Amino acid sequence: ALAPGQICAFYDGDELIVDRAIKPEHGRIVIAAVDGELTVKRFFQRDGVVKLIAENPKHRDIELKKGQEMMIWGVVARIIKSV
């Protein structure tokens, strides 16, 4: 599995292998549904703050606000690169 904090780069056409048995801990890349929309981001959880951090600077981070719904679908365990 990708280690928490490990550099992660994936592109269109790459395949993500997701393991639903891995605990979504701080620093892991996760597949999450936020208010019904799926996203792939790094999970941040510290001092009661929960964020989903974008690896790509072109995309925004998501800081969960009161009343927002988030469900972690799984943790990215492997990335298969497209050639």
Dist CA 50 CA 25 (whole Å): 11
In DSSP terms, 38 is beta-bridged to 33
pLDDT value for 1: 61
Q: Residue 9 is encoded by which pair of tokens?
A: 């780069």
Handedness of CA 70, 31, 52, 36 (dihedral sign): negative
Closest CA to 3 of 38, 29, 39, 32: 29
pLDDT digits (tens, 9 = 90+) for 27-74: 999 999 999 999 999 999 999 889 999 988 889 999 988 889 999 999
Specify the length of the chain in residues.
83
